[in-house]
Amino acid sequence: AEMALFDFMLLGTEAFRKEILVVVSPDKVFEPDAGLMKGIIDAGASLCIFDAPPRAVIEAQTPYISCVYRDKTAPDEFLFSQALKSLRTIFLKYENWQQAVIRAVQNCSYQQLLDVSVPIFDATFYLTGDDMEFIAVSGNSLKYIGDGVRMPPEIINYLKSDPGTVKALANRAAYLLPPGLLPARLNYNVFYNGTLAARLTVMDELHSREYSASELKLMDIVGEAVSIIRRQHRTGDDTAADRDIVSLITSILSGESVSHSCIESVLARNGWSASEEYSVGCLSTGGPSHGSGTTYYCDYIEKNFPGVIPIRWNGAVLLVIRGSAYAAQNDFLSKFVPFMTARDLKLGLSVTSTDIQHAVYLARQAESALSHVMKAESERRCQSFSDCAVEYILQRGVSEMLPEMLCAEELLRLKRYDEANGSDYVTTLRCYLSNNMNAVATSKALFIHHATMVYRIKRLKEIGGIDFSNIDKLAHLVLSFHLMEMQPEGINKPKK
């Protein structure tokens, strides 16, 4: 037997609890004035029909379920049994969905709501704010997400200018746009304090899907859930904005003056001790493959990574990672890297601090580390600022002076000597410094005899004039090697 659900009008899960379901045998003939039809209508019952609905049922606007079987010669008992099993399966599907919707509202999660609703509609959901920026996205068709942050311009322009759409903005229920124009036909507008706050959209790539009254009713359920979550978000913003730690950190990042007493008060209310360490991460976002913008990532991270505070900042997502939740950055990365890998994201991490007012500097470190890992041609997902701090320092120096002018004079002497005599004392010096000036370890690394290494150290002192007991000179030499690496072909020659 094959069952097809033709319509589910007025249904939701409450229909089976409050109404009578009348199962009618396949050979039953319906007449508009027959006692059966009158009894069904008077009782407010729903019909289960083993065929396409007859005109009498449609004209009476009686809620019905149509069960079509290939084998119409089967006994009535078999058909009744199969129909009730199928109806129970459908009932459980919507019952489970209803419970999942309730949990999503309780968790105040747009993403969770859309995720559980995709199987019900077998379509892709997009939830955007009043500025058409994505709040959440779920489904298999991500073709129409534009730059990954906002709806494509052609959809935005149409929604703003089409007379039918402008009129539909006043709707408090699900509505359909004219067919054949956009893949965004089924919509629901969410209002807050009388103004449009969000729009829920179901995408249809084929432009040919027909929507029934039951699907509009189900869309109303999803839309109302979005409205409830939206009100919860706004209510929370209104009552906690002045004491929220996100607001505090945002003020610090903006350069606003925040009193020490205010900082202590906010941190104390959020269970943040004065000695707690934290770090800042900068997460790459954007691009069609990512599925949504910064709002989506902030919501997901907040729900799935306790102890991480996501903040939308300058088109990116900053992560404040609390030391009380993650004793070391590796503890955090072991959980966060799989999330980034699945979404093709990368992360820059700052050093740690205990002073919340240092957040602005840690954010700069995280942005610098992210820039470094984005430029690297590798599969590496994360870069710590401590691993690229030397490059950061040198880049600031070469912005005012040629790199060759910053190199240690001792290294330049060795380089000129190597070029003139075909020797390789520059490599010897670098290996010697890399091995903590251990002659034995260096000779093994260079595959030379220990006596040869001792001789080369002597020549390094003679040719370059290097004083290996001067810590400042040694630090300058190490930085000079980094400066040489910043040039495509070693150290630049002076410009004429």
Q: Are strands 308-313 and 316-322 parallel, antiparallel or unpaired?
A: antiparallel
Q: Is 28 left (phi over 0), alpha (psi -120 to 50) or beta?
A: beta
d(CA 251, CA 259): 11
Residue whose C-alpha is closest to residue 347's, from 374, 315, 327, 320? 374
200-225, pLDDT tens digit by residue? Answer: 888 876 666 777 777 888 898 998 89
Q: Span 245-387: which CATH code? A: 3.30.70
Name the residue with tokens 């408090």.
172
- Describe the strand order of the beta sheet including 316-322 as a list of residue ranges: 308-313, 316-322, 278-283, 347-349, 382-384
Q: Encoding tokens for residue 436?
A: 């903590």
424-454, pLDDT tens digit by residue? Answer: 999 999 999 999 999 999 999 999 999 999 9
Class of domain 107-239: alpha beta
Residue whose C-alpha is closest to residue 127's, from 59, 200, 63? 200
Helix (H, G, I), strand (E, B) or coil at 200: strand
d(CA 298, CA 254): 19
- Burial class of residue 276, CB neighbours in 10 A (0-12, 13-18, 19+): middle
Which residues make up the CATH 3.30.450.40 domain(s) of the chain? 107-239
Which residues make up the CATH 3.30.70 domain(s) of the chain? 245-387
| Structure confidence at residue 129 as a pLDDT band (50, 70, 90) | confident
Q: Encoding tokens for residue 373?
A: 């890992």
Q: Encoding tokens for residue 15?
A: 């229909």
| Structure confidence at residue 68 as a pLDDT band (50, 70, 90) | low
CB contact at 8 A, 6 and 66: yes
d(CA 206, CA 180): 9
CB contact at 8 A, 50 and 26: yes
CB contact at 8 A, 95 and 76: no
Contacts of 441 by beta carbon, 8 Å cutoff, 6+ apart: 435
Helix (H, G, I), strand (E, B) or coil at 444: helix
Give the homologous superfamily in CATH for domain 401-485.
PucR C-terminal helix-turn-helix domain (1.10.10.2840)
Does position 10 have pLDDT exceeding 50, yes or no? no
Q: What is the mean pLDDT of residues 223-232?
A: 85
Helix (H, G, I), strand (E, B) or coil at 483: helix
237-281, pLDDT tens digit by residue? Answer: 433 433 468 888 888 888 888 888 888 888 887 788 878 899 999
Which residues make up the CATH 1.10.10.2840 domain(s) of the chain? 401-485
Helix (H, G, I), strand (E, B) or coil at 105: helix
Instruction: Give, in degrees to the nearest 5, the angle at Cα 195 between 233 and 191.
Output: 55
d(CA 171, CA 184): 16
376-393, pLDDT tens digit by residue? Answer: 767 788 989 988 888 888
Lowest mean pLDDT, pick from 77-91, 221-235, 251-265, 329-343: 77-91
